[in-house]
Structure 1
Amino acid sequence: MTRTEEFEELRPLLFAIAYRILGSVSEAEDAVQETWLRWYASSTVPRSAKAYLSTTVTRISMDVLRSARVRRETYVGPWLPEPLLTDSYQDPARSAELADSLSTAALLLLERLSPLERAVFVLREVFTFGFPEIAAAVGRSEAACRQLAVRARRHMDEGRPRFEADRKEREALAGRFFDALREGDVDGLRRLLAADVQLVGDGGGKAPQLARTVAGADHVARLLASLFSTLTLVDVTVEPREVNGQPGAILRDRDSRVLTAWTLDILDGQIQMIRSVTNPDKLGHLGPVADAWAVNREAGRARRSVT
């Protein structure tokens, strides 16, 4: 097997590691590309391509995360991970106990960890790397990595997200939610939402976004019904998709450009959380991105013309 073939075989694993560490599709892809460049330029022949490449992508991702956290301190509004479409995504950890580590809720929980703790947790708990491999990847002793793993696991367990276990039930409930949304059915939406449901938006100051988190089934149902009834006036459509391993959707403008990406957290037969990413910098990997400001202005004019 050639070097290129070895790398391509391991590319899904490398991306999966980088994305969980970084919470960013674009940064994860850049980390994988940098790993390839180092692999191609290296004159050494490692005993294990997997160990060498995993170590390289982990170290690159940790360095990127440290600088990214500085930028996030001045981020406008709530910060959410870049949405990843997973209905056709082959994840190496798909069958692992922590397959839910791809969820937006889990990625936000990982944000509480230091870059070192995050890397150790991802390698150990998601991909079941041995401590000798982890120690080599993060440049710490095995004993230190064991301590880091225990500390990271404790932090994660304290806030570990819970989701509806039955995939078909989740999809069916999400389907009813999007049907009610299209129909502007406030009562139908309200019945599907938990009493303390929250709606969170991430526009990063570069797209229209909520002034604050909206909480409560009645408030969220009324806001969503009003918002979508306005957007339908300018032919915005909802495309249900699996996003970060959970039910979600892509909203598109009349030219099929991406306007926003939603994820739904579902538990006990109700929607507990709705997250919306409209920051165009986080949507480019999903396809051409709509001008959300222009869509918003056009929708406002259309609403005034019918009232």
Structure 2
Amino acid sequence: MTRAEEFQELRPLLFSLAYRILGSVGEAEDAVQETWLRYEASATEPDSVRAYLSTAVTRVSINVLRSARVRREAYVGPWFPEPLLTDPYQDPERSAELADSVSTAALLLLERLSPLERAVFVLRDVFDFGFPEIAAAVGRSEAACRQLVVRARRHMAEGRPRFEADRKERERLAARFFDALREGDVDGLQHLLAAEVSLVGDGGGKAPQLARAVAGALNVARLLASVHPRMAEAGVTFEPRELNGEPGAVFRDRDGKVLHTMVLDILDGRIRTIRNVINPDKLGHLGPVADAWAVHREVTGTAGRTDRTP
């Protein structure tokens, strides 16, 4: 098997690892490409190609994350990970853990960790790497890596909900939500929302977005029911899709270009958070991106820019 063939075989693992460390599709793809360049230029043949490539992509991702943290501190509004339609790495024995680790909520929890904690946690608890491999990947002793994992697990556990909805329950609830959304049904929407639900948008200052999160079932239901019929009149459509392992949808303009994504965070039979990614820089991997400002003007009938679009 050639190096290129070996690399292609492991590419899904490398991308999935990098995406969980970085929370960015584009940065993960760049990290994987940088890993290939390093492997291609290496004069020696590693004993384990998987270990070599996993180490390389982890180190590249840690370096990228450190610089990304600085940029995210200056980010305009809430920051969400780039939406992921399909996780390319498939492991039937760990499918549940893999799906959970790529959820928007889990990736936001990972943002609480230091780059080293995040990398070690992903390698150990998501991909089940042994501590000798982890130590080699991050350049720390096995004892230090064990301590990093303990701290990371504690931070992750503090932010996780006590009870998770099962997959079938989430799918049924999401289907009802999107039916009510199409119909502009305030009561139907409100019934599906947790009392403390919040609607939050990530526009990064580059697209229409909420000035602040909208909170409360009635407020969120009224806003969604009032805005989405007008969006439909402007030619906006949406297709329910699984995003980051969670129920969601991709919204498109009249030309089929990607306008934004929506992900539903479901707990105890109710939707507790609705997260929209509107920043065009985070949508290009899903296809051609719409002019969100033009759609906003058509929906609102205004010539200026406002920030009240879910």
The TM-score, its normalising length taken from structure 2, stands at: 0.94
| Counterpart residue identity of residue 193, structure 1 | L
Match of 2:88 in 1: 90
| 1:66 corresponds to 2:66 | yes
What code does the residue aligned with 2:128 have?
T
- Cα contact 2:165–2:268 (8 A) shared by 1: no
Offset of residue 300 of structure 1: 1.5
AA of the residue aligned to 1:262: M
CA offset digits 1:227-269 (Å, max 9, x no partner): 1011111110111000000000001000010000111011221
1:197 counterpart residue number: 197
Give the AA of the match of 2:88: Q
Cα distance in 2, alignment partners of residues 8 and 67 from structure 1: 27
Kept after mapping to 2: 8 A contact 1:162/1:267? no
Which residue does the alignment assign to 1:211? 211
- 1:165 CA displacement: 3.9
| Residue in 2 that maps onto 1:110 | 110
- 2:120 maps to which residue? 120
| 2:185 alignment partner in structure 1 | 185
Q: Which residue of 2 aligns with 1:33?
A: 33
List aligned pairs for 1:1-307, cutoff 5 A. Answer: 1-86=1-86, 89-92=87-90, 95-96=93-94, 98-99=97-98, 100-161=100-161, 164-301=164-301
Query: So what's the TM-score if we normalise by structure 1?
Result: 0.95
4+ runs of 1 displaced by more than 6 Å?
A: none
Gaps of 5+ in 1: 303-307
Q: Shift of the alpha carbon at 1:299?
A: 1.3
Alpha-carbon separation, structure 1, partners of 2:70 and 2:88: 31
Give the Cα–Cα distance (whole angstroms) in 1 for the partners of residues 139 and 8 of structure 2. 25
CA positional deviation for 1:164? 4.4
Please give the alpha-carbon distance, in whole angstroms, between the structure 1 residues aligned to 2:294 and 2:92: 39
| Aligned-partner Cα distance in 2 for 1:179–1:23 | 30
Q: Secondary structure at the match of 1:98?
A: helix
Does the aligned pair in 2 maintain the 1:163–1:266 contact within 8 Å?
A: no
CA–CA separation in structure 1 for the residues paired with 2:92 and 2:273: 23
State percent identity of aligned pairs.
76
Q: Cα gap change, 1:107/1:134 in structure 2, threshold over 3 Å: closer, same or farther?
A: same
C-alpha distance in 2, partners of 1:19/1:137? Answer: 16
What CA RMSD, in Å, does the superposition of the two structures yield over aligned residues? 1.3
- C-alpha separation between the residues in 2 aligned to 1:83 and 1:260? 10
Distance (Å, rounded) in 2 between the aligned partners of 1:190 and 1:102: 28
Using the TM superposition, name which of 94-103 and 52-61 deviates more: 94-103
Cα distance between partner residues in 2 of 1:156 and 1:292: 35
